[in-house]
């Protein structure tokens, strides 16, 4: 059994697959993430994720946020303490005044780690994530800003 598991582990390394994740996705806890450093507006990012049978990333809780942020840093997402170095999040107002929801289905966001003072502008209807003064968090941004994006999907297996 152990040998067999080793064999599977090595096989998945060679095929670039991480347990329970589609190709080019990385496993973090029960989720799989795909990082794209291409800078696109929120709508294009949303479509790119859907085309991969995934949705734009949202954090479930603080642990998910921390572990996923480690992955993003490893994948060279530039978090240079600047609002221009952000990634898109799967939340926006869907055209409703100042009520941020899951863009996927309009449901409530599971966790909203807003940066201090955010959200703050009525012209900013999409959510991004960046580092400001050593603190990472959500921010409201104009949806036509150009940022890298991260797609997520549920892992299919437990391990």
Ligand X SMILES: *[C@@H]1O[C@H](CO)[C@@H](O)[C@H](O)[C@H]1NC(C)=O
Q: Cα–Cα distances in Å, from 141 out to 42, 60, 89?
A: 10, 21, 10
Q: What is the closest distance, in whole angstroms, from the C-beta atom of residue 51 to ligand X in the complex?
A: 11
Does residue 154 belong to the site contacting ligand X (CB under 6 A)?
yes
Nearest CB to ligand X, comparing residues 29 and 106? 29
Does residue 61 belong to the site contacting ligand X (CB under 6 A)?
yes
Nearest CB to ligand X, comparing residues 29 and 142? 29
Give the whole-angstrom CA distance, residue 47 versus residue 3.
Answer: 41
Give the whole-angstrom CA distance, residue 15 versus residue 20.
Answer: 13
Binding residues among 93-152 for ligand X as defined by CB under 6 A: none
User: For the window 1-30, what string marks contact with ligand X as x by the rule CB under 6 A?
Assistant: ----------------------------xx
20, 31, 49, 86: residue in contact with ligand X (rule CB under 6 A)? 31
For residue 119, cis peptide bond before it (omega within 30 degrees of 0): yes
Q: For ligand X, how many residues bind (rule: CB under 6 A)? A: 10
Burial 47-56 (b: 16+ CB within 10 A, else e): ebbeebebbb
42, 86, 153, 155: residue in contact with ligand X (rule CB under 6 A)? 153
Which residues of the chain form contacts with ligand X (CB under 6 A)? 29-31, 53, 60-61, 63-64, 153-154
């Amino acid at each position: 059994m152990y040998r067999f598991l080793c064999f599977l582990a090595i096989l998945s390394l060679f095929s670039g697959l991480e347990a329970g994740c589609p190709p080019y996705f990385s496993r973090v806890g029960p989720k799989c993430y795909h990082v794209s450093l291409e800078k696109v507006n929120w709508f294009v990012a949303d479509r790119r994720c859907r085309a991969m049978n995934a949705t734009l990333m949202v954090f479930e809780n603080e642990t998910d946020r921390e572990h996923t942020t480690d992955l993003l840093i490893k994948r060279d997402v530039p978090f240079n303490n600047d609002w221009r170095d952000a990634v898109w999040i799967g939340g926006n107002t869907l055209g409703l005044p100042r009520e941020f929801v899951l863009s996927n289905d309009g449901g409530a966001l599971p966790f909203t780690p807003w940066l201090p003072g955010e959200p703050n502008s009525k012209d900013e209807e999409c959510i991004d994530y960046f580092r400001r003064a050593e603190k990472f968090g959500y921010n409201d941004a104009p949806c036509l800003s150009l940022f890298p994006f991260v797609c997520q999907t549920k892992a299919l297996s437990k391990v």
